[in-house]
Homo-oligomer: A and B are copies of this chain.
Amino acid sequence: MKHLIEKFYKRNTIFTGRAVGFRVDEVVLPNGKHATREYMDHPGAVAVIPFVDKDTIIMVRQYRHPVGRVTLEVPAGKLDKGEKPMACVKRELQEETGYRAAEIIKLNSFWPTPAFANEVIHIYSATNLVPAKQNPDEDEFIDTVKVKYAQALKMVKNGKIKDSKTVIAILWHACFQNNK
């Protein structure tokens, strides 16, 4: 693969924010020329598809400023500094849905946009849910809703659900888990 690999030459941090940052690194191309790579620096995140029963999942509605829409997504959240993904998924599940899960299984890890961000999202499924205290973040405005899995799959197909981690979690279940 050597003929494809770019060598890191110089970091150029444009912005370091509260949640994410932005860099324009300089790299050396396989042909020796220099080029720049503009991308977002992100701490990584987790997402979880929680099943309250075998046909019903818990989702969240929230406003996403970059796309200017209220979205329907699976519960998710950024990793805190030094936080392990499994600890994060338990925390976010309880904060956003008011449930703990007796069983949490890793489905996959994916890159939302590997050309323009270093973000990795780890997706889990959660079953055997037990009610617990809901602790939403202050200044986070979300609605928690129960949705039939079959309905969510239909909303992926007809484009009503557009968020990558949610699309992947729902399709993953249909492909690899549903008929186990």
Contact partner, A113, options B14, B25, B38, B164, Cβ 8 Å? B164
In the complex, the chain B residue whose C-beta lies closest to that of A15 is B14
Pick the contact of A159: B6, B109, B112 (CB < 8 A).
Answer: B109
One of B19, B36, B168 near A116 (C-beta < 8 A): B19
Given contacts A4-B141, A35-B139, A70-B4, contact A116 B20 (CB under 8 A): yes
Contact present for B174 and A114 (CB under 8 Å): no
Contact indicator B162/A111 (Cβ below 8 Å): yes
Min CB–CB distance A162 → chain B (angstroms): 5
Contacts A116-B20, A164-B111 given; indicate if A139 touches B4 (C-beta within 8 A): no
Q: Is A81 an interface residue (CB 8 A)?
A: no
Tell me how far the C-beta of A179 lies from the nearest C-beta in chain B, rounded to whole angstroms. Answer: 12
A54 within 8 A of B: no
Q: How far is the CA of A12 from the CA of B139 in the complex (A)?
A: 21
Closest B residue by C-beta to A115: B64
User: Which listed residue (B4, B19, B114, B116) contacts A119, Cβ 8 A?
Assistant: B116
B39 touches A159 (CB 8 A): no
Q: In whole angstroms, how far apart are the Cα atoms of A38 and B175 in the complex?
A: 34
- Interface status of A37 (Cβ within 8 A of chain B): yes
Residues of A near any B CB (own CB < 8 A): 1, 3-6, 8, 14-15, 17-20, 22, 24-25, 27, 29-31, 33, 35-40, 42, 61-71, 108-120, 139, 141-143, 153, 156-157, 159, 162-164, 167-168, 171-172, 174-176
Provide a sorted-by-A list of 15 A–B residue pairs whose CB atoms are within 8 angstroms. Answer: A4-B141, A14-B14, A15-B22, A15-B24, A20-B39, A22-B40, A29-B139, A33-B139, A37-B65, A66-B115, A66-B118, A108-B157, A108-B167, A114-B163, A116-B119
